[in-house]
Structure 1
Amino acid sequence: MTIHLSPASQVIAGVVLLSVVTIEVGGWFLTKIARGAVPMTRFQKDFARAGHAHAGVLVTLGLICLVLADATALDGFAGYVARAGVPLAAILMSAGFFASSAGRGEVTRPNKLFAVVWLGALALAAGVVTLGIGLLTA
């Protein structure tokens, strides 16, 4: 069985795969945090782990969604949402965790940039619901 990606999925997959390098850098940074080389509050450590984990899991899911979206032959706006929703969520949710916990000193609560996490959650929901409906109706 040969899998052929649509041009849109091929571009998104290429960008997503290149983004894995940034996730690797984040993992390296987490090892510095774990060794105590980067001073952070418990809250900041937890949010750094959450941001890193969301990036890794959602990038993997995003690649799977590209293949599934091409299997449904979704096109137009629905096709765009089905293909880009999960990768966009990977960016937004991880960025939201990192940005909302940034700062020096005793940072113990997220700042207003935590709203970016919720935007990512909306992108994730839109992507998987659109793709799920597309798969069920294909």
Structure 2
Amino acid sequence: MLELSDPARITAGIVLLTVVGIESGGFFLLKVFGGRLATTDLQKSFFRAGHAHAGVLVILGLLCLLLTEATGLTGFLRWLAATGVLVAAILMPAGFFLSAIGTGRTAPNRAVVLLPAGAVVLGAGVVTLAGGLLLG
């Protein structure tokens, strides 16, 4: 049986609850693509990308959380390996959704800066975890 540290167990439980939010995002997308909400092409593509990134990154984040338990990482590097992808799972979807909100928006607003910020945290998290796994 896999032994999780208390912080990993609690984090995993909380993250699993976010799936309900992602699920409601799917309901929102049904409204958008069903024509029940007036949206621009930019908004449709950004809303779809935000939803997809949320789902994929939450799954990858849970996997990273579990894999971190198999490393000898400590301190900030352990935190980054365990939760970097989960932080990106907040930043990147937020960047897609927040930068596309507003009636008739055809170009992203300044919230688009969350996308590269999330990408940096994502990369740092997976590279740190990979190093922890490969180096023991």
CA distance in 1, matches of 2:10, 2:52: 24
Deviation at 1:8, TM superposition (A): 1.8
Moved over 2 A (4+): none
Aligned residues: 136
> Is 2:132 the counterpart of 1:134?
yes
Equivalent runs, 1:68-107 vs 2, <5 Å: 68-105=67-104, 107=105
Q: Helix, strand or coil for the counterpart of 1:108?
A: coil
Q: Supply the AA of the counterpart residue of 1:109.
A: A
Q: Could you tell me which residue of structure 2 aligns to residue 108 of structure 1? A: 106
Q: Could you tell me which residue of structure 2 aligns to residue 35 of structure 1? A: 34
CA distance in 2, matches of 1:114, 1:72: 34
Q: Deviations over 1:86-123 (max 9, x none)?
A: 01100100000000011002x11111110011111111
Q: TM-score, normalization: structure 2?
A: 0.97
Q: TM-score, normalization: structure 1?
A: 0.96
- Percent of residue pairs bearing the same amino acid type: 54
> Is 2:20 the counterpart of 1:7?
no
- Choose which of 117, 120, 123 in structure 2 pairs with 1:122: 120
Q: Helix, strand or coil for the counterpart of 1:72?
A: coil
